[in-house]
């Protein structure tokens, strides 16, 4: 299996910057399969989002928020994502997204799922200043091709809410929700667009 690790991908970005000055602010994923473009990823099954936070009593709906945002953002990138309401085999604990191999994840998804997505909430940190409370959410995820027994993409990302205090109230939202959505969008920035994304958008 040919895989572009984070170091290799970072070197490629640096070379682009040196040559043309473009893409210098681009994030690179922790891992991206070199044959991703030819893998034929189309339909993806999103497994229940794992809440791996040390303390899960604060903002218990974060997994739901992240799942909804994932389906929406993946759709914007051209992928058809459906949600599973259960695991094939429930994980026994948090998943080490950085190092886990595809063969160790196959049992999590139903047998008829070819490509499936594992998303995990790592942390949600709260801070307070003169403007009010703000939140930072850290997520991780990986996309698995079950048939080929390979991880096609993996990454982790953090983001915070932009609105605080009365601005959050006026926007009819919550700081926690905004941080969760922002983190989800940041996470999937490094996932390649579906090759037919423009055609798919026109159909919808």
pLDDT at 15 over 70: no
The pLDDT score that the predictor gives to residue 11 is: 46
**pLDDT by residue (tens digit) across 141-183?**
999 999 999 999 999 999 999 765 444 444 445 889 999 999 9
Contact 161, 176 (CB under 8 A): yes
Largest CA distance in the chain: 52
pLDDT band at 13 (very low <50, low <70, confident <90, very high): very low
Helix (H, G, I), strand (E, B) or coil at 191: coil
Rounded CA separation 109/132 (Å): 41
The pTM for the full model equals 0.81
Average pLDDT, the chain: 84
Place of tokens 């953002």: 73
Rounded CA separation 158/170 (Å): 25
Of residues 90 and 16, the one with the higher pLDDT is: 90
pLDDT at 14 over 50: no
- 97-101, 124-128, 183-187: least confidently modelled range: 124-128
CATH architecture, domain defined by 34-203: 3-Layer(aba) Sandwich (3.40)
Q: What is the DSSP letter of 163?
A: -
**pLDDT by residue (tens digit) across 29-83?**
999 999 999 999 989 999 999 999 988 887 889 999 999 999 999 999 999 999 9
Radius of gyration, alpha carbons of the chain = 18
Contact 28, 10 (CB under 8 A): yes
Mean pLDDT of 112-116: 94
Contact 151, 78 (CB under 8 A): no
């Amino acid at each position: 299996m040919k895989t572009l690790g984070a170091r290799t991908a970072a070197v490629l970005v640096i070379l682009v910057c040196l040559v043309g000055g473009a893409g210098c602010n681009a994030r690179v994923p922790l891992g991206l399969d070199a044959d991703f473009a030819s893998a034929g990823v189309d339909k993806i099954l999103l497994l229940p989002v794992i809440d791996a936070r040390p303390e899960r009593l604060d903002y218990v709906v974060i997994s739901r928020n992240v799942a909804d945002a994932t389906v929406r953002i993946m759709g914007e990138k051209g992928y058809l994502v459906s949600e599973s309401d259960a695991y094939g085999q429930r994980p026994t604990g948090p998943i080490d997204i950085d190092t886990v191999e595809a063969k160790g994840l196959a049992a999590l998804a139903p047998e008829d799922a070819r490509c499936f997505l594992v998303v995990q909430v790592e942390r949600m940190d709260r801070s307070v200043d003169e403007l009010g409370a703000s939140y930072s959410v850290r997520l991780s995820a990986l996309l698995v091709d079950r048939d080929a027994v390979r991880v096609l993409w993996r990454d982790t990302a953090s983001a915070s809410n932009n609105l605080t205090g009365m601005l959050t109230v006026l926007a009819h939202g919550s700081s926690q929700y905004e941080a969760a959505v922002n983190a989800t969008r940041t996470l999937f920035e490094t996932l390649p667009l579906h090759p037919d994304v423009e055609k798919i958008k026109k159909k919808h």
